[in-house]
């Protein structure tokens, strides 16, 4: 007759079942042998991931995205005639007096062939540009950040300058 033997292994005496000691860090071997699991000091694990214990710490909310400013883009056009006779003091044809995020300006100036001399025009922006428009000609300028168009003092008693101008601008404003 065969003797029945137990399949259970005997535990070494140093690994006997005992309760967790305060502030004891539990390893996998200790967890198998300890009777008092789970305890707040000995966190349960899942696939070697430590589960958070109450109170749970949530990450802070992400910052709100910056608000998009509404922008309005529109075109404006200004046109007129120029007539200079004799000595003429400086005068302003056009001025931009609003804050615009972006400005694109096109200036076209025509001088009639009957004019006795070239028409001088100053375009004021980040820098000042000077244009000369000979009699019977048209001169164009396209640029950004133009704030004014001036006709400087010019001429003599016999000066006669006749012409036309068109100033088109595209403005982008924010609300």
The residue ranges of every structural domain in the chain are 15-58, 71-174
- Indicate whether 136 pLDDT > 60: yes
From its phi and psi, is residue 47 left (phi > 0), alpha (psi between -120 and 50) or beta? Answer: left
Q: Which of 2.60.120, 3.30.530, 2.10.240, 3.30.70 is the CATH number of 71-174?
A: 2.60.120
Rounded Cα distance between 77 and 3, Å, is 112
Q: Which residues contact 113 (CB under 8 A, 6 or more apart)?
A: 135, 136
SS3 (DSSP) at 125: coil
Q: What is the pLDDT of residues 103-117, one digit of tens each?
A: 899 999 999 999 999
Within 13 Å and on the Cβ side, how many CA atoms surround 43?
10
CA 54 centroid distance within chain: 42
- Residue 71's pLDDT band, with cuts at 50, 70 and 90, is confident
pLDDT band at 57 (very low <50, low <70, confident <90, very high): low
């Amino acid at each position: 007759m065969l003797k029945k033997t137990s399949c259970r292994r005997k535990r070494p005496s140093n690994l006997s079942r005992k309760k967790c000691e305060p502030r004891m860090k539990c390893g996998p071997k200790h967890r198998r042998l300890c009777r008092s699991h789970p305890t707040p000091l000995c966190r349960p694990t899942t696939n070697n991931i430590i589960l958070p214990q109450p109170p749970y710490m949530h990450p802070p909310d992400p910052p709100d995205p910056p608000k998009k400013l509404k922008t309005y883009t529109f075109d404006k056009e200004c046109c007129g005639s120029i007539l200079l006779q004799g000595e003429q003091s400086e005068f302003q044809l056009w001025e931009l007096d609003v804050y615009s995020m972006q400005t694109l300006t096109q200036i076209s100036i025509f001088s009639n062939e009957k004019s006795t001399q070239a028409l001088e025009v100053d375009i004021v922006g980040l820098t000042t540009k000077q244009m000369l428009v000979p009699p019977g000609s048209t001169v164009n300028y396209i640029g950004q950040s133009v704030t004014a168009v001036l006709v400087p003092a010019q001429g003599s008693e016999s000066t006669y300058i006749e012409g036309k101008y068109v100033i088109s601008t595209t403005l982008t404003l924010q609300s």
